[in-house]
Amino acid sequence: MKNIFPRLSVGFLLVAFTPVIKAAEKTKVFILAGQSNMQGQGVVSMDHVDHYNGGKGNLVWSMEHSKSKDMMKHLRDESGKWVEREDVEISYKVREKVRRGPLTVGYTGYGSSSHIGPELQFGHVVGDHFEEPVLLIKTAWGGKSLYQDFRPPSSGGETGEYYQKMMEEVRDALSAYKPGTFEIVGFIWMQGWNDMVTKEAVPEYADNLVNLAKDVRKELGLPELPFVIGELGNGGPAKPGSGMATFRKAQEAGAQNIKKASFVKTAEFARPAKISPNVGHGHHWYGNAESYFLVGDALGRQVVEMLKD
């Protein structure tokens, strides 16, 4: 397999980084990868009566009315502004432009502050855990499958274009920093819809997931890099024998065959369309901000537990 990190030695990749802090501090780096639900479709404040269900289920509404409202208080400061977390930086390339800065709302495929994804609460969880600074490298595109678009080299056939782009974006995000100042500590995968709706993709999914972990670890020079796989929990509990139930089993089976990996169930975080802003978008959790918040929270807590071990 071609090494796409020609300028980065294994020793360089195994240590932590940052251009602005003390040399002794090692920035903890997480890679957040996947398709549209990793991009983030949780509505922040749009509340048009016809187009966004009057704002039900958006982030502003959720902070006042959802079951998780007490968990969300840290997202705004005393003046009501969205908190920008200086100790957690995020890098995300959207439409060929990299957006980089303090963690806050808006790091999604829309390029504004209109939506959130799992990265928001994930960043708060890992930021609270580490004394060191944190960098989140987000690399995600909507409508992409592991069967084809993210296809890892070890699965045979043509390596997926977006597998290669994913690794290139990781390399580019790290290239601005000096060797010896960073540590990649987790890979978070939130993806699956396009595979679930592709008949030939489902039987391969578990093996492709195993190969994804194998190849990413090899390219990064990190054979024990923790992998966290988020369940495709859209719609809540799946009917036995349904396509969703079958696919979730494939996800879990793949995770169980990867050393140092965890499968995080998320179906309990689904909320009904009637209390969500995008009532016709079940594939995007109906745009419900609480769902994306809770998914990020669960993914973050799981990787923290793995790193403690």
- Nearest partner of 107 among 95, 120, 97, 96, judged by Cα: 120
- Higher pLDDT: 3 or 53? It is 53
Task: Tell me how far apart the alpha carbons of residues 210 and 228 are, in angstroms, rounded to a whole number.
Answer: 12
Mean pLDDT, rounded, for 206-215: 98
- Nearest partner of 25 among 126, 130, 173, judged by Cα: 130
pLDDT at 24: 61
- Higher pLDDT: 114 or 7? It is 114
Exposure on the CB side of residue 15, measured as CA atoms within 13 A: 14
Q: What percent of the chain has pLDDT over 90?
A: 89
Task: Please answer whether residues 159 and 172 qualify as being in contact, where contact means their C-beta atoms are separated by less than 8 angstroms.
Answer: no
Given a cut of 90, whether residue 170 has pLDDT beyond it is: yes
Given a cut of 70, whether residue 18 has pLDDT beyond it is: no
* Two structure tokens written together for 233: 């929990």
Question: In the chain, where does DSSP find H-type helix?
Answer: 10-13, 36-39, 59-65, 119-129, 161-175, 193-196, 202-220, 243-256, 289-308
Task: Tell me how far apart the alpha carbons of residues 51 and 292 are, in angstroms, rounded to a whole number.
Answer: 20
Weakest mean pLDDT among 11-15, 39-43, 206-210: 11-15
- Nearest partner of 34 among 160, 172, 173, 142, judged by Cα: 142
Given a cut of 80, whether residue 184 has pLDDT beyond it is: yes
pLDDT at 19: 45
Task: Tell me how far apart the alpha carbons of residues 210 and 152 are, in angstroms, rounded to a whole number.
Answer: 9
Give the CA angle between residues 116, 90, 176 to the nearest 5°: 155
Digit-coded pLDDT (tens) for 80-131: 999 999 999 999 999 899 999 999 999 999 989 999 999 999 999 999 999 9
Task: Please answer whether residues 290 and 67 qualify as being in contact, where contact means their C-beta atoms are separated by less than 8 angstroms.
Answer: yes
Weakest mean pLDDT among 96-100, 185-189, 291-295: 96-100
Digit-coded pLDDT (tens) for 20-53: 444 468 999 999 999 999 999 999 999 999 999 9
DSSP, collapsed to helix, strand or coil, labels residue 229 as strand
pLDDT at 300: 98
**Per-domain boundaries in the chain:** 10-308
> In CATH, what class is 10-308?
alpha beta
- What pTM, to 2 d.p., does this model score? 0.92
Number of H helices, E strands in the chain: 9, 9
Task: Please answer whether residues 184 and 225 qualify as being in contact, where contact means their C-beta atoms are separated by less than 8 angstroms.
Answer: yes
Displacement of CA 141 from its chain's centroid (Å): 11
- Nearest partner of 293 among 34, 7, 43, 112, judged by Cα: 43
